[in-house]
Amino acid sequence: MPDSLTVIDNRTGERFELPIAYGIYPNYGAYIRGADLKKIKGSPEDFGLLSYDPAFMNTASCKSAVGFIDGDRGILRYRGYPIEQLAEKSDYLETAYLVLKGELPAPSELAAWKHEVTHHTFVHESIKKFMEGFHYDAHPMGVLVSTVAALSTFYPEARDILEPATRWKQVVRLVAKLPTIAAFAYRHSVGMPYVYPDNDLGFAGNFLSMMFKTTQLRYTPNETLERVLNVLFILHADHEQNCSTSAMRAVGSSHADPYVSVAAAAAALYGPLHGGANEQVLRMLVEIGSVDRIPEYIKRVKAGELKLMGFGHRVYKNYDPRARILREMAPQVFDVTGKNPLLDIAVELERIALEDDYFVSRKLYPNVDFYSGIIYQAMGFPVDIFPVLFAIPRVSGWLAQWQEMLEDPEQKIARPRQIYIGHDERDYVPMSDRG
């Protein structure tokens, strides 16, 4: 029996064989090609059958070897490695290398990669001036999106996206410069002088220095907090075809340069349903205010007035493995920083939600954003920079997927079809005849 789908078009009685193909795992990723539906026509003039899938609920737009999610079982892997092992044993730059290159680096490769990234952390002085143009209360995500797009004008060679060496140079620059831009955005918002990168610190430690250094000659990051930030960055490095990655691939598919493509991806991430949710979770916990007000809030969520931010996921229909790691890691942070008083509200909210039929029947579990914000806040990060903290590591995933897309012979400019539902042809109405 061939692996195929037999389709009978009851409009015409015609019978079609549509081949079923597979990724490399037969029980995961069996598919038919959307283009094969085109030959199914109601009449000879017919355009052919389209598959209609708003929000891509069941459409694979690419083949990818970067990340793997099994949402029913709560599994996330980068390049085959379970997220739990990476969170325990790796650091962000090593994980970024894995995500970008496909393999864990050998010692010499890791040293070279760290050296490359470290030496591209500075931004052009004109970028600093550019950032000074923003209002003091500009949202850091708006600043990040605009500034990353502006990098495109500093590196015009980046348009040569088909040249692997040029492409790699921009990858290094983007991974290296995002923390600097993020920290400058924060320092600008609080009116403090910018702190230049310290090349003797690690990736996460240097970011903490650029954010929080004040009068000390050298900033020494707290070891626990530096490690925790590494883990947070690891957990956010890639998440296969999410909204921002799809934006990266779509914009990149027109052969736009990686800076404007990353800016587009970051813009998609900014939304409260995606990477902006961590900020909204914090605002929600503050609005709830105390444990005794949770039942009232849950009532409003169930009435459809509000969403429980940090809950639910398009793919995970089980506990998000990233949220589990963060929940377990939170006490380490609070040992250093003191407990975030919002934690009690979060834990009780989760307990109630996991027992309530509304959430259970819809398989709504805490996602990565539910606990990340509480940890970020305890570490001293202001709430509106949380989505930026998501963008810093996610750039490695965006760029890995962008490179994969450019090297995939099956990919072309992204261009979905539509089902037209507007007027049929009609004649122009002169102004004098319009009511």
Catalytic residues: 274, 313, 369
Alpha-carbon distance of 327 to 83, in angstroms, equals 15
Q: How far is the CB of 242 from ligand CMC (least distance, A)?
A: 5
In the three-class reduction of DSSP (H, G, I as helix; E, B as strand; rest coil), residue 315 is classed as: coil
**Whole-number Å distance between alpha carbons of 406 and 163:** 10
Of residues 118, 242, 372, 403, which one binds ligand CMC by CB under 6 A? Answer: 242
- Region from 21-29, 86-94, 200-208, 272-280 binding ligand CMC, contact rule CB under 6 A: 272-280
Q: Does 386 bind ligand CMC (CB under 6 A)?
A: no
Identify which range of 101-109, 178-186, 211-219, 363-371 contacts ligand CMC by CB under 6 A. Answer: 363-371
For ligand CMC, the binding residues in 306-335 under the rule CB under 6 A are 307-314
Regarding 11 and contact with ligand CMC (CB under 6 A), the answer is no
Distance CA 298, CA 60 (A): 35
Least distance (Å) between residue 155 CB and ligand CMC: 29
Looking at the chain, how many residues does it have? 435
For residues 268 and 433, the answer to whether their CB atoms sit within 8 Å is no
Q: Please identify, using beta-carbon distances, which residue of 131 and 277 lies nearer to ligand CMC.
A: 277
- The nearer residue to ligand CMC, 71 or 102, going by C-beta atoms, is 71
Q: Is 121 left (phi over 0), alpha (psi -120 to 50) or beta?
A: alpha
Alpha carbon 111 to chain centroid, angstroms: 27
Which of 130/365 has CB closer to ligand CMC?
365
Q: What is the CA radius of gyration of the chain?
A: 24
Handedness of CA 155, 156, 159, 164 (dihedral sign): negative
With respect to ligand CMC, which residue has the nearer C-beta, 176 or 282? 282
Nearest distance from residue 261's CB to ligand CMC, in Å? 18
Question: Does residue 119 belong to the site contacting ligand CMC (CB under 6 A)?
Answer: no
Our finding on whether 267 is near ligand CMC (CB under 6 A) is no
Burial of 428 (0-12, 13-18, 19+ CB in 10 A): exposed
Q: Applying CB under 6 A, does 373 fall inside the site for ligand CMC?
A: no
Among 225, 277, 329, 405, which residue sits at the site for ligand CMC (rule: CB under 6 A)? 277
46-67 in b/e form (b: 16+ CB < 10 A) is: eeebeeeeeeeeeeebbebebb
Q: Which residues bind ligand CMC (CB under 6 A)?
A: 239, 242, 273-275, 277, 301, 307-314, 362, 364, 367-369
